[in-house]
């Protein structure tokens, strides 16, 4: 397991590279060009500048995300141009040595929460999803609320996309789940060969939460659908970002079973916990198994059991000790999370060695 840490770039993140260097065992900066709109080809000078900034202390092997333009997901004729741009971006990232590109195929929204600073019993705050509010809210009200509460733009909530919400919702009216599958297959057939030639493994992120919201189709939701996804374009460069927190919001998802079934197709793991409530709400709790509903210790053990050599990151964390940061992306809880993941991993390694020597 190679440990990574997501970093949004100088001036765009409250955490510094110098701070990340002091977290034990972090080798990889998980990065992106956050100022390039979805659909545009990434400029080489910006890619190289980022690489040079990070390269002194870390590798730049994982990019999260190269966002997919909405016209690709909608299957519009204009997708061809955006797919070409996507391919050029993959090639450029391959040239500088990137190994994994994380992306998602969620219509309109990326991850969705109703409260970015919900207080937990211990006084820390975390991202929270209140099911009844999503079921009953007009999406336009929700967007306004989130923009009021957050000083920073969240990934996937780029202003240029949110500004066109009405027309986007109109456009998705005819897009069924099956149509979305077709559009995803078309995209994969175009880009996976380019990724393979560039030495890159594509890694789709699950939908978060893993169910339909506001009547929009969502398909990357669980084990059966991931099985179908991997067969859509059956190649090692077509892989998964297995996110335990996104998938773990649905109690039917058995993460450990997925790790075993998809073991050769997981170039990137997001490892975080969520606490689920009976009414369908969930909150992003600390990484420790006992603190949430997802067996993080069991998941790390499963990665160890399959001999996982891919990249991992702690994904989101709570906001601790008064830290002011990008929602979910503070320093402290993600650093604590990493130490928990290493603790379980190292214990698994020691016990495997002991068994081996018997």
**CB closer to Mn ion out of 203 and 344:** 203
Q: Which does 285 bind (CB under 5 to 8 A by kind): Mn ion, ligand DNO, none?
A: none
According to the binding rule CB under 5 A, does residue 320 interact with Mn ion? no
Beta carbons of 312 and 340 less than 8 angstroms apart? no
Q: CA–CA separation, 276 vs 143, rounded Å?
A: 24
Q: CA–CA separation, 153 vs 269, rounded Å?
A: 24
Q: Which does 64 bind (CB under 5 to 8 A by kind): Mn ion, ligand DNO, none?
A: ligand DNO
**CB closer to ligand DNO out of 104 and 125:** 104
Give the end-to-end CA distance of the chain in Å, rounded to a whole number: 25
Q: What residues pair up with 243 in beta bridges, in sequence order?
A: 270
User: Least distance (Å) from Mn ion to the CB of residue 292?
Assistant: 14
Q: Which does 71 bind (CB under 5 to 8 A by kind): Mn ion, ligand DNO, none?
A: none
CA distances from 127 to 47, 65, 117, 166, 319 (A): 31, 20, 6, 26, 9
In 69-227, the DSSP E strands lie at: 100-104, 115-119, 125-129, 201-205
Tally of residues, the chain: 358
Burial class (CB in 10 A: 0-12, 13-18, 19+), 35: exposed
User: Least distance (Å) from ligand DNO to the CB of residue 334?
Assistant: 12
Size of the site for Mn ion (CB under 5 A): 3
**CB closer to ligand DNO out of 123 and 249:** 249
User: Least distance (Å) from ligand DNO to the CB of residue 266?
Assistant: 14
**CB closer to ligand DNO out of 2 and 313:** 313
CA distances from 232 to 117, 128, 225, 235 (A): 38, 33, 10, 9
Q: Which does 111 bind (CB under 5 to 8 A by kind): Mn ion, ligand DNO, none?
A: ligand DNO
Q: Which does 104 bind (CB under 5 to 8 A by kind): ligand DNO, Mn ion, none?
A: ligand DNO
Considering only the stretches 62-70, 84-92, 238-246, 322-330, report the one whose residues sit in contact with Mn ion under the rule CB under 5 A.
238-246
User: Least distance (Å) from ligand DNO to the CB of residue 34?
Assistant: 11
Q: Which does 110 bind (CB under 5 to 8 A by kind): ligand DNO, Mn ion, none?
A: ligand DNO
Q: Which does 102 bind (CB under 5 to 8 A by kind): ligand DNO, Mn ion, none?
A: ligand DNO
**Antiparallel, parallel or unpaired: β 26-31 and 125-129:** unpaired
**CB closer to ligand DNO out of 31 and 111:** 111
According to the binding rule CB under 5 A, does residue 315 interact with Mn ion? yes
The dihedral built from the CA positions of residue 92, 95, 98 and 102, taken in this order, carries a sign that is positive
Q: Show contacts with Mn ion in window 243-272 (CB under 5 A).
A: 243, 270
Lookup: tokens for 356: 């081996």
Phi, psi of 271 (to 5 degrees): -120, 110
Q: Site residues (CB under 6 A) for ligand DNO? A: 64-65, 102-104, 110-111, 155-156, 205, 208, 243, 245-246, 270, 315
Residues of this chain that bind Mn ion (CB under 5 A) = 243, 270, 315
């Amino acid at each position: 397991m190679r440990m990574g840490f997501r970093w949004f770039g100088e001036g765009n993140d409250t955490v510094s590279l110098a701070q990340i260097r002091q977290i034990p065992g972090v080798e990889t900066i998980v990065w992106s060009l956050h100022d390039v709109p979805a659909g545009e080809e990434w400029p080489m000078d910006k890619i190289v500048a980022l690489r040079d900034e990070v390269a002194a202390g870390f590798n730049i092997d994982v990019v999260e995300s190269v966002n997919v333009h909405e016209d690709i997901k909608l299957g519009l004729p204009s997708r061809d141009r955006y797919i070409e741009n996507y391919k050029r971006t993959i090639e450029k990232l391959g040239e500088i040595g990137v190994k994994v590109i994380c992306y998602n195929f969620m219509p309109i929204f990326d991850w969705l929460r109703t409260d970015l600073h919900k207080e937990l019993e211990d006084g820390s705050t975390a991202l929270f999803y209140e099911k009844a509010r999503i079921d009953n809210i007009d999406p336009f009200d929700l967007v306004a609320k989130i923009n009021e509460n957050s000083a920073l733009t969240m990934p996937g909530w780029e202003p240029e996309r949110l500004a066109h919400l009405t027309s986007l919702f109109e456009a998705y009216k005819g897009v069924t789940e099956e149509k979305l599958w077709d559009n995803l297959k078309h995209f994969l057939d175009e880009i996976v060969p380019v990724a393979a030639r560039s030495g890159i493994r594509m890694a789709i992120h699950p939908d978060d939460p893993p169910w339909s919201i506001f009547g929009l189709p969502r398909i990357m939701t669980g084990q059966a659908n991931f099985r179908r996804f991997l067969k859509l374009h059956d190649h090692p460069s077509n892989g998964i970002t297995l996110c335990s927190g996104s998938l773990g919001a649905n109690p039917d998802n058995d993460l450990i079973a997925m790790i075993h079934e998809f073991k050769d197709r997981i170039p990137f793991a997001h490892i975080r916990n969520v606490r689920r409530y009976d009414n369908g709400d969930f909150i992003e709790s600390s990484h420790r198994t006992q603190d949430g509903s997802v067996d993080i210790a069991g998941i790390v053990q499963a990665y160890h059991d399959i001999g996982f050599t891919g990249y991992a990151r702690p994904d989101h964390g709570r906001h601790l000790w008064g830290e002011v940061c990008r929602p979910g992306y503070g320093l402290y809880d993600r650093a604590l999370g990493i130490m928990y993941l290493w603790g379980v991993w190292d214990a698994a390694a020691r016990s495997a060695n002991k068994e081996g020597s018997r």
